[in-house]
Structure 1
Amino acid sequence: MGNCYVVVIDGLGVGAQEDADEYGDENENTLGHLCEQTGCKLPNLQRMGLGNVIPLKSVPRESDPLCAYGKMREVSAGKDSTTGHWELAGVQLNRPFPTYPDGFPNEVIQQFREGIGQDEVLVNKPYSGTEVIADYGEEHLETGYPIVYTSADSVFQVAAHVDVTPVDTLYEWCEFARNEILQDEHGVGRVIARPFEGKPGSFERLSDQRHDFSLTPPDYNIVNRLKQEGVKTYSIGKVVDLFGGNGFTQFRRTKSNAEGISQLLSLMSAASDSFVFVNLIDTDQKYGHRLDPAGYAECLQEIDRAIPAIVSKLDEDDILIITGDHGNDPTSESTDHSREFVPVLLFPASKGEGVNLGTRSTFSDVASTAADFFEVEAQYPGTSLIT
């Protein structure tokens, strides 16, 4: 049967969707603008066919690409990681997760305070994660009150200094918020624990101890479906968190793309008849949100250098899908995600329904492809990429 590998490069968009103006993203093009501004060379992804997806200034087209190539449209309402990964797994959302541009309502904050035994919380409004600890970290140290903030995404984030609130306690607080408060009407996509350390003027987030508490997707998603049919399912990176911890035979959280790639290569040496779902987050978390085109380009080049090693470990019955979950244009004035098409590369090209896969109608083509590959009966709102 073989293995199906799905590698998501977080925040890798290839141009605004037709409905991007509804999100204020009509001018965004993550990969296109990045190549224009940085001249980023990606020789291995070029050979795979990345430059065939859309015109890219520094990544030319290939006349005989190794992958079937195209781009996919997001149908679900929203532009966050949870929405994108769920749609890749066959779940389309008719309405977006709630967002809170004016901060969370009093009833939410009161329930949270009472549940964790705190008299107050700090901030309660949209804020940059690095700026919020710079601006409020000292007050947090003095009062012990947790920092609660959100963003343009559907997130409830809680930051606390490790000398004030132990990391395990912070996780307990976030788990309480997830399970007891933030459901139904206030069911945000993710509750995120954001521990930090350091002294005033030099606070640093502990990214490797961040933890996401997501809503649980409907049971019919492809990960659960494959596991029910006896297919081994693996998560590398934050994927398991985006699925509420459900559906995976085994998961490996990672601290960086380098570790994610290393874990993937290690697993590929042992996997058999498995579905492997990988998220490489640094492009989004470290560089897209921080408007750092040079860092984003270097991050893509790190992934590009790993492509030959990844391909060398594929058996002839395996398939590899490389894609994104939304855009995050580091050349933009916005630090938020963007409503963009995402690329899709299917290796080997001979397994594709055609070398040029065109513009796909939904991210859920990935779920349909996995169901087709493993010969599992499942109905998803997508079309398989393979013949």
Structure 2
Amino acid sequence: MTQFRRVFVIVLDSVGIGQALDAQKYDDEGADTLGHIGSGYQGHFELKNLQKLGLSNIRPENPITNVPIAPSPLASFGKMQEISVGKDSMDGHFEMMGLPVTEPLGFFPDGFDDALIKKIEDYSGRKVIVNKPYSGTEVIEKYGEHQLETGDLIVYTSGDSVLQIAANTAVMPLEELHDLCRYVRSITIDAPYRIGRVIARPYVGTNKDNFERTSDRHDYALLPEKPTDLDRLKEAGYEVIAVGKTEDIFSGQGITEGFHTTSNRDGMDKVIELSDREFRGFLFANLVDFDAMYGHRRNIQGYGDALMDFDRRLGELLPLLKEDDLLMITADHGNDPGFKGTDHTREFVPLLAYSPSLIGSQDLGTRQTFSDLGQTILDNFEVKGTEHGTSFLNQLK
């Protein structure tokens, strides 16, 4: 018999909680997203609801600045170590759902080869410019006016396995951009590219002073090579609801209903709205602004503001949860705004598990893989999983 009728998982995209055991492999020693935000934020920083759940209890030896250890946390707490070979959103989400990424994806620190660029130019009828790693906002600021004048395509990458195409919608209509990205996705699935995500990055504006990326971003991810825990739940007859970019990450596989959102606030609006719906199954939400708006831009203040805004919305959600609901809060990787560079950081991710029916809390320790999350959800719904992950359902009391 299932313990919880509904399971909600909210992924705070990029909210890491300190360098992972293998951070050295990724040149990420010293990364600490939450730690550096807490210590570097200028002004009053507090996360009342996350504090009450037990955020700083995860690492009592080094609590988050201005987030005290809770004497009696409301949630069970721990952290998770990633075993996938990358630190991209796709890697993290796939691993959470029982499919660790074991084959390295393609990375392009010097840009993409001439053969791929020519295919993009031939298909689109446009010249490609940039073709190297770049911050998404900086590349638009530097080359956006050139694009308006010429119609050239801004193609760039990052420290992750991504090919991104930025286009001003006044030059390239949204459907044309999406069509091009679908084509690029189709030719970069296998070696020698094997790119994790092709991302459409539309923006608007007339000059570098007012260029702004829109919420019509779309991620074209690699299809999961094997069934995920989403597929298992769906096949067992449970609802699997995706909020935010979750549906894009899994290319719709294993999802019964998806809701795209325009911001963290919109995402929480949808989660709160859906908490009033009677369903039996799993709601999987991703809040991407932490990563896209503040982590990559190394904006401690903006990141801190976004965390406090989420914390306030969390305060709205918690009273709406029912006795047979389980809420878990985690992340997919780090993106330390107080660290070097502009790329994701290899970190542990927080794990908080709360239900109104749980009395007291448990220290869930350090989970050896993100797959423990999915295995716990499957265990709750009595659905058979794989060899990846260990359920902690019986520790939730």
Could you state the TM-score of these two structures normalised by the residue count of structure 1? 0.96
Q: Which runs of 5+ in 1 are unaligned?
A: none
Q: Is 1:232 equivalent to 2:239 in the alignment?
A: yes
Aligned residues: 386
Deviation track 1:156-188 (CA, whole Å, cap 9, x = no partner) reads 011111111101100000000001344343121
Contact 2:91–2:101 (CA under 8 A) maintained in structure 1: yes
SS at match of 1:147: strand
The offset of 1:107, in angstroms, is: 1.3
Equivalent-residue separation in structure 2 for 1:356 and 1:314 (angstroms): 22
Find the residue that maps to 1:300 and give its secondary structure: helix
Could you tell me how far 1:380 is from its partner in structure 2? 4.1
Say which of 166, 171, 174 aligns to 1:164. 171
Identity of aligned residues (%): 42
CA offsets 1:304-336 (integer angstroms, 9 cap, x no match)? 112232122222111111000000111112211
Aligned to 1:121: 128
Once the two structures are superposed, the pairs formed by residues 329-340 of structure 1 within 5 Å of their partners are 329-340=336-347
Pair 1:281-2:284 in alignment: no
Asked if the contact 1:8–1:325 (Cα under 8 Å) also holds between the matched residues in 2, the reply is: yes
- Distance in 2, Cα, partners of 1:378 & 1:189: 24
CA contact (8 A) 1:234 1:248 kept: yes
Amino acid at match of 2:55: L
- Pick closer, same or farther for the CA change 1:3–1:184 going to 2, 3 Å: farther
Q: Deviations over 1:80-133 (max 9, x none)?
A: 111011111111112331110000011111122222233x21111111111112
Residue from 346, 351, 370 that aligns with 1:344: 351
- Is 1:63 paired with 2:71? yes
1:315 and 1:283 map into 2 onto residues whose CA distance is: 28
Q: Is the 8 A contact 1:49 1:66 kept in 2?
A: yes
Shift in alpha-carbon separation, 1:283–1:172, aligned structure 2, 3 A: same
Q: Distance between the aligned counterparts of 2:368 and 2:89, measured in 1?
A: 19
284-293 vs 168-177, greater mean Cα deviation: 284-293
Contact 1:68-1:345 at 8 Å conserved across structures: yes
Which residue matches 2:117?
A: 109
Q: Is the 8 A contact 1:6 1:278 kept in 2?
A: yes
CA distance in 2, matches of 1:224, 1:180: 26
Match of 1:247 in 2: 254
Aligned runs of 1:129-140 on 2, under 5 Å? 129-140=136-147
Q: Name which of 270, 277, 282 aligns with 1:270.
A: 277
CA contact under 8 A between 1:35 and 1:58: conserved in structure 2? yes
| In structure 1, C-alpha distance between the alignment counterparts of 2:266 and 2:174, rounded to whole Å | 22
Query: Which residue number corresponds to residue 96 of structure 2?
Result: 88
**Of residues 8, 14, 17 in structure 1, which corresponds to 2:11?**
8
Give the one of 59, 63, 80 matched to 1:72: 80
Distance 1:179 1:352 in 2: 50
For residues 179 and 271 of structure 1, the distance between their equivalents in structure 2, rounded to whole angstroms, comes to: 38
CA distance in 1, matches of 2:340, 2:361: 37
Matched residue, 1:328: 335
Quick check: 2:296–2:335 contact (8 Å CA) kept in 1?
yes
Q: Check 1:195–1:302 CA distance in 2 against 1; reply closer, same or farther (3 A cut).
A: same
C-alpha separation between the residues in 2 aligned to 1:93 and 1:362? Answer: 12
Flag the 1:213–1:125 CA change in 2: closer, same or farther, 3 A. Answer: same
CA contact (8 A) 2:231 2:255 kept: yes
Paired with 2:294 and 2:303, the residues of 1 have a C-alpha distance of 5
Q: Quick one: distance in 1 between partners of 2:189 and 2:386?
A: 30
For the aligned residues, what is the CA RMSD? 1.6
1:169-248 residue pairs with structure 2 within 5 A?
Answer: 169-248=176-255
- Say if 2:159 is the partner of 1:152: yes
TM-score (norm 2): 0.94
- Tell me which residue corresponds to 2:54: 49
- For the 8 Å contact 1:46–1:62, the answer to whether it is kept is yes
Partners of 2:252 and 2:227 in 1: how far apart? Answer: 15
Instruction: Find the aligned partners of 1:349 and 1:266 in 2 and give their Cα distance.
Output: 19
The answer as to whether partners of 1:8 and 1:324 remain within 8 angstroms in 2 is yes
Q: CA deviation at 1:354?
A: 6.6
2:38 alignment partner, one of 16, 24, 35: 35
Structure 1: distance between partners of 2:354 and 2:183? 42
Distance in 1, Cα, partners of 2:134 & 2:278:
41
| Cα distance, 1:349–1:62 mapped onto 2, change above 3 Å | farther
Q: Secondary structure at the match of 1:193?
A: strand
Give the conservation status (yes or no) of the 8 Å contact 2:323–2:357: no
